[in-house]
Amino acid sequence: MHRTRHILTSFLVSTILLIAQSARYRELLAVIDRNTGLAHMTRGVNMYTLYALRSCVSDRDIPVLRDLLRDKDRVSRMAAASVLADMGARRQEGSSSADR
């Protein structure tokens, strides 16, 4: 009885989390999936993936990119991490040129 309740609770939580994913989250996942390269029969991030993702995100998407860091897909996590790092580097360049 207790095990059945645990399984049902797990199913309910996972269903709610799936529904709760924002439309923007799903859009960014689609961009990553459409621009992922295949080399040596292995799916992975390449520069096209990063260019495509960078071109469609702004500072408003930072929370969504943070959520992508916890995605189950390794490729999505790596792409989001690279874009977040690039966005941080651009901010630092902008603030250092403003300080001059």
Asked if the model's pLDDT at residue 11 lies above 80, the reply is: no
Token pair belonging to 24: 């923007």
CATH architecture of 22-99: Alpha Horseshoe (1.25)
Backbone angles phi, psi at 39, to 5 degrees: -135, 135
34 near 52, Cβ under 8 Å? Answer: yes
Q: Tell me the residue type at 46.
A: N
Buried b (16+ CB within 10 A) or exposed e, 1-13: eeeeeeeeeeeee
Check residue 44 and report its DSSP letter: E
Question: Which of the pair, 1 or 97, is modelled with greater confidence?
Answer: 1
Q: How confident is the model at residue 24 (pLDDT cuts 50, 70, 90)?
A: very high
pLDDT tens-digit profile of 42-88?
Answer: 888 999 999 999 999 999 999 999 999 999 999 999 999 999 999 98
Asked if the model's pLDDT at residue 12 lies above 60, the reply is: yes
Question: Which of the pair, 44 or 40, is modelled with greater confidence?
Answer: 44
